[in-house]
């Protein structure tokens, strides 16, 4: 009785011209094999190009995003296995984590993309493959899923990278952007540029102070200045000290 | 740019951005914007060349050591210099190739054989300008060809990429269709086939359209990975008091692997399966969103009791201080103190000096 029902159902579907899911699955399996071959061919011709050319990598990533494919989702994906893009970005992720950990006590877990780029390049050494800022951003986007609070904050044409699970809402972000120009900001400036009340400005600044992302200079002439250590790399030696490096490796 | 150390040129940035040309007879530099500005050195002046690798803030360079200038040398940017070398700085790329070609030319010394009929007039007078010599035009043409060829290679790569993406797009459409059918039950999909479908999605990097959950969760790959992780992480966890943040795990595992690294999502998806596979580790997510791996035998709530003791002994502690005392990462130290606070054992003093935790005397002394 069951089997007859089953067959009738199938017949009905076939009549209507609808393809069944399991048939499509079989089709997908075949197409997957073919795709794998195509990708292998592509890799044999252009793998080096992807390795060496940051522009090409951007193009590649953008195209993938457009069609709804994430080449970095899994190390087990075809893209990663055959084009080697996976290892490149996942290793970069490790390097980013280590730099951020080492410098966290200096900047509270906020660092400019520029400084991060420099430190990562330094860590990779002279003979390593070149890494662009776009590469860093993509690696960081992937790291978010680890729950460590990785975030990307646009400020004045560049980005601040957050690497600690501190709550930074719109108010905090706006202040960071304001501070980016000079490296510091005062309550007075916030009130005049953003038209905020004193209380609101103070609350946001205090939060940044507590998180170690801002430092207070009460000895400045005029209004006390709230400085962002993430923004004044000139004042620091750019070397990561051995103590800091120890902090970074688990 | 040509860097005569501490030279006026460098400070003025006059010879900062241009194109370097190599002929059988000369080394020529031409300003990128002002083609009338052109300087050259005969290859016969070169004693030897050496490479300087790129570094941070430094571009790759070629140092060209020169014979002393002859008395009838043509006018140039400097009448004389105390240095016997010039440095060519390659800000973008090309140093390696140029060094090779320059070495070749110096070795072959073709200028000795070929008539120097194509002498170049480097004319600094205002009206002068365009270099008319045939040699230069020939070089330019070659450069143009090379550029076209590189462009062609790149555009070939883009073309191939586009074709590949078209095929990938078909796969995405197909997977959406399958997912819809699964949802609307048009056809019977067995358990096995569902797993297969998920692994296809994983291979292609397509988000699971049915559940919208993270890619490839529940595949055999992630199950295997979870089991592997249980093996790899046992000892490190024990060394670290039974708990590690997921970022620590990510770094540890990938550093150990060296190749065929795990993506962050691979790690998370594998860890999500730890509990259901009854492995001796588990994934835990704190209120803050911080994710950790704990040994099953680890009990964070018990650790809170000892944290309370430590804080009481010292009167009060910040996360930093606690971390140093106990030998934990600051991240996990903070989570433990927050948990203790949540459980009512500690209370906080949140000031601009930082977040400090005290034993909750309201609890103990009521």
Predicted local confidence at residue B243, as pLDDT: 92
CA distance A181 to chain B (A): 23
Per-residue pLDDT of B135-176, as tens digits, reads 667 777 777 887 777 777 777 888 899 999 999 999 999 988
Predicted local confidence at residue B2, as pLDDT: 45
| pLDDT top residue among B193 and B81 | B193
Reported confidence tier of residue A15, pLDDT bands at 50, 70, 90 = low
Asked whether the beta carbons of residue B164 and residue A80 sit closer than 8 angstroms, the reply is no
Asked whether the beta carbons of residue B168 and residue A69 sit closer than 8 angstroms, the reply is yes
Contact B81, B73 (CB under 8 A): no
Nearest CA in chain A to B318: A210
Asked whether the beta carbons of residue A75 and residue B207 sit closer than 8 angstroms, the reply is no
Asked whether the beta carbons of residue A35 and residue B167 sit closer than 8 angstroms, the reply is yes
Contact B25, B42 (CB under 8 A): yes
Predicted local confidence at residue B21, as pLDDT: 81
Mean pLDDT for chain B overall: 79
Residues 6+ apart with CB under 8 A from B66: B41, B45, B46, B47, B84, B85, B86
Report which of B64, B56, B38, B183 is spatially closest to residue B120, judged by C-alpha positions: B38
Whether pLDDT at A111 is above 90? yes
DSSP B114: S
Per-residue pLDDT of A126-154, as tens digits, reads 778 889 999 999 999 999 999 988 999 99
Whether pLDDT at B346 is above 90? yes
Nearest CA in chain B to A42: B160
CA distance A98 to chain B (A): 8
Contact A75, B250 (CB under 8 A): no
Whether pLDDT at B120 is above 70? no
Asked whether the beta carbons of residue A49 and residue B157 sit closer than 8 angstroms, the reply is yes
Per-residue pLDDT of B254-290, as tens digits, reads 999 988 999 999 999 999 999 888 999 999 999 889 9
Residues 6+ apart with CB under 8 A from B55: A126
| Tokens read off for A98 | 């280590």
Residues 6+ apart with CB under 8 A from B319: B330, B333, B334, B337, B355, B357
Nearest CA in chain A to B239: A250
Most confident of B99-103, B192-196, B242-246: B242-246
DSSP assignment string, B218-280? T-HHHHHHHHHHHHHHHHHHHHTTTEEEHHHHHHHHHHHH-SSPPPHHHHHHHHHTTTTTT-S
Location of structure tokens 């590949």: B164
Mean pLDDT of B328-334: 89
CA distance A86 to chain B (A): 7
Asked whether the beta carbons of residue A91 and residue B254 sit closer than 8 angstroms, the reply is yes
Predicted local confidence at residue A31, as pLDDT: 92
* B94 touching A (Cβ < 8 Å): no
Which residue among A76, A79, A126 sits closest to B55, beta carbon to beta carbon? A126
Most confident of A119-128, A237-246, B120-129: A119-128
Asked whether the beta carbons of residue B154 and residue A75 sit closer than 8 angstroms, the reply is no
Report which of B301, B340, B296 is spatially closest to residue B317, judged by C-alpha positions: B340
Mean pLDDT for chain A overall: 86
Angle between helices A170-180 and A187-194 (to 10 degrees): 110
Q: How far is CA B274 from the centre of its chain?
A: 31
Cα–Cα distance, A21 to A37 (Å, whole number): 24
Reported confidence tier of residue A235, pLDDT bands at 50, 70, 90 = very low
Asked whether the beta carbons of residue B205 and residue A29 sit closer than 8 angstroms, the reply is no
- 3-state secondary structure at position A36: helix
Predicted local confidence at residue A152, as pLDDT: 95
Judging by beta carbons within 10 Å of its beta carbon (0-12, 13-18, 19+), is residue A11 exposed, middle or buried? exposed
Which residue among B188, B268, B330 sits closest to A145, beta carbon to beta carbon? B268
SS3 per residue for B186-202: CCCCCHHHHHHHHHHHH
Cα–Cα distance, A212 to A104 (Å, whole number): 9
Contact B287, A165 (CB under 8 A): no
DSSP assignment string, B323-360? HHHHT--HHHHHHHHHHHHHTTSEEEEEETTEEEEEE-
Contact B69, B80 (CB under 8 A): yes
| pLDDT top residue among A17 and B231 | B231
Asked whether the beta carbons of residue B172 and residue A23 sit closer than 8 angstroms, the reply is no
Per-residue pLDDT of A61-99, as tens digits, reads 999 999 989 999 999 999 999 998 999 999 999 999 999
Cα–Cα distance, B121 to B133 (Å, whole number): 8
| pLDDT top residue among A229 and B153 | A229
* B255 touching A (Cβ < 8 Å): yes
β-partners of residue B46 are B66
Report which of A121, A237, A241 is spatially closest to residue B54, judged by C-alpha positions: A121
Reported confidence tier of residue B334, pLDDT bands at 50, 70, 90 = very high
Asked whether the beta carbons of residue A97 and residue B215 sit closer than 8 angstroms, the reply is no
Which chain B residues are within 8 Å of A148, Cβ to Cβ?
A: 245-247, 290-291, 331
Cα–Cα distance, A185 to B348 (Å, whole number): 28
For chain B, the C-alpha Rg in angstroms (whole number) is: 34
Asked whether the beta carbons of residue A35 and residue B172 sit closer than 8 angstroms, the reply is no
Predicted local confidence at residue A60, as pLDDT: 92
* A218 touching B (Cβ < 8 Å): no
Asked whether the beta carbons of residue A147 and residue B285 sit closer than 8 angstroms, the reply is yes
Residues 87-146 in A contacting B (C-alpha not used; CB under 8 Å):
87, 90-91, 93-94, 97-98, 104-105, 118, 121-122, 126, 142-146
Location of structure tokens 């800000």: B91
pTM attached to this predicted model = 0.70
Which chain B residues are within 8 Å of A73, Cβ to Cβ?
A: 202, 205, 207, 215-216, 263, 265
Mean pLDDT of B310-317: 93
β-partners of residue A216 are A226
Asked whether the beta carbons of residue A250 and residue B193 sit closer than 8 angstroms, the reply is no
Residues 334-363 in B contacting A (C-alpha not used; CB under 8 Å):
350-352, 354-355
Whether pLDDT at B99 is above 70? yes
Asked whether the beta carbons of residue A64 and residue B262 sit closer than 8 angstroms, the reply is no
Residues 6+ apart with CB under 8 A from A116: A96, A99, A100, A136, A161
- ipTM exceeding 0.90, yes/no: no
| pLDDT top residue among A152 and A234 | A152
Measure CA of the first residue to CA of the last residue in chain B; give whole Å.
77
| pLDDT top residue among B114 and B14 | B114
- 3-state secondary structure at position B64: strand
Residues 6+ apart with CB under 8 A from B164: A38, A39, A42
Report which of B185, B180, B182, B215 is spatially closest to residue B200, judged by C-alpha positions: B215
Residues 188-227 in B contacting A (C-alpha not used; CB under 8 Å):
188-189, 193, 196-197, 200, 202-207, 214-216, 221
């Amino acid at each position: 009785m069951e089997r007859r029902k089953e067959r009738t159902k199938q017949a009905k579907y076939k009549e209507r011209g609808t393809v069944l899911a399991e048939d499509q699955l079989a089709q997908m399996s075949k197409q997957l094999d073919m795709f794998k071959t195509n990708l292998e061919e592509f890799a044999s011709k252009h793998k080096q190009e992807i390795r060496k050319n940051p522009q090409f990598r951007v193009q590649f990533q953008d195209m993938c995003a457009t069609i709804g494919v994430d080449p970095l989702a899994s190390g087990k994906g075809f893209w990663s296995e055959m084009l080697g893009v996976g290892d490149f970005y996942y290793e970069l992720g490790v390097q980013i984590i280590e730099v951020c950990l080492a410098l966290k006590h200096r900047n509270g877990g906020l660092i400019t993309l520029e400084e991060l780029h420099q430190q990562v390049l330094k860590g990779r050494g002279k003979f390593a493959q070149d890494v662009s800022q776009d590469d860093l951003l993509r690696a960081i986007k992937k790291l978010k899923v680890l729950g460590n609070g990785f975030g990307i904050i646009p400020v004045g044409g560049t980005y601040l990278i957050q690497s600690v699970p501190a709550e930074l809402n719109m108010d905090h972000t706006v202040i960071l952007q304001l501070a980016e120009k000079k490296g510091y900001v005062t309550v007075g400036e916030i009130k005049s540029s953003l038209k905020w009340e004193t209380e609101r400005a103070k609350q946001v600044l205090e939060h940044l102070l507590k998180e170690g992302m801002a430092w207070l200079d009460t000895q400045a002439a005029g209004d006390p200045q709230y400085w962002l250590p993430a923004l004044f790399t000139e004042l620091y030696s750019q070397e990561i000290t051995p103590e800091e490096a120890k902090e970074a490796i688990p | 740019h040509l860097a005569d150390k501490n030279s006026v040129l460098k400070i003025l940035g006059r010879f900062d951005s241009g194109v370097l040309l190599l002929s059988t007879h000369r080394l020529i530099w031409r300003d990128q914007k002002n083609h009338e500005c052109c300087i050259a050195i005969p290859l016969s002046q070169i004693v030897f060349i050496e490479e300087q690798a790129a570094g941070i803030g430094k571009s790759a360079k070629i140092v060209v050591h020169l014979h002393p200038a002859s008395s009838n040398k043509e006018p140039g940017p400097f009448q004389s210099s105390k240095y016997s070398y010039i440095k060519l700085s390659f800000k973008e790329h090309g140093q390696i190739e140029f060094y090779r070609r320059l070495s070749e030319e110096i070795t072959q010394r073709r200028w000795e054989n070929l008539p120097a009929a194509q002498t170049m007039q480097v004319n600094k007078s205002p009206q002068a300008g365009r270099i008319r010599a045939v040699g230069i035009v020939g070089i330019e043409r070659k450069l143009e060809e090379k550029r076209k060829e590189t462009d062609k290679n790149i555009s070939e790569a883009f073309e191939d990429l586009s074709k590949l993406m078209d095929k990938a797009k078909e796969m995405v459409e197909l997977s959406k269709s399958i997912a819809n059918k699964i949802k609307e039950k048009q056809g019977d999909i067995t358990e096995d086939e569902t797993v297969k479908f998920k692994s296809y999605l994983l291979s292609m990097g397509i988000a699971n359209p049915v559940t919208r959950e993270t890619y490839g969760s529940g595949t055999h790959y992630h199950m295997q990975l979870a089991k592997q992780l249980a093996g790899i992480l046992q000892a490190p966890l024990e060394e670290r008091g039974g708990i590690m943040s997921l970022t620590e795990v990510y770094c540890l595992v990938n550093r150990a692997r060296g190749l065929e690294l795990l993506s962050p999502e691979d790690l998370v998806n594998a860890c999500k399966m730890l509990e259901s596979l009854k492995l001796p580790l588990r994934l835990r997510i704190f209120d803050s969103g911080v994710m950790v791996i704990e040994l099953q035998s680890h009990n964070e709530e018990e650790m809170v009791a000892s944290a309370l003791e430590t804080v009481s002994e010292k009167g009060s502690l910040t996360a930093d201080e606690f971390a140093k005392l106990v030998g934990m990462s600051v991240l996990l130290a903070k989570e433990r103190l927050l948990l203790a606070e949540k459980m009512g054992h500690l209370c906080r003093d949140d000031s601009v000096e930082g977040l400090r935790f005290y034993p909750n005397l309201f609890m103990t002394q009521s």
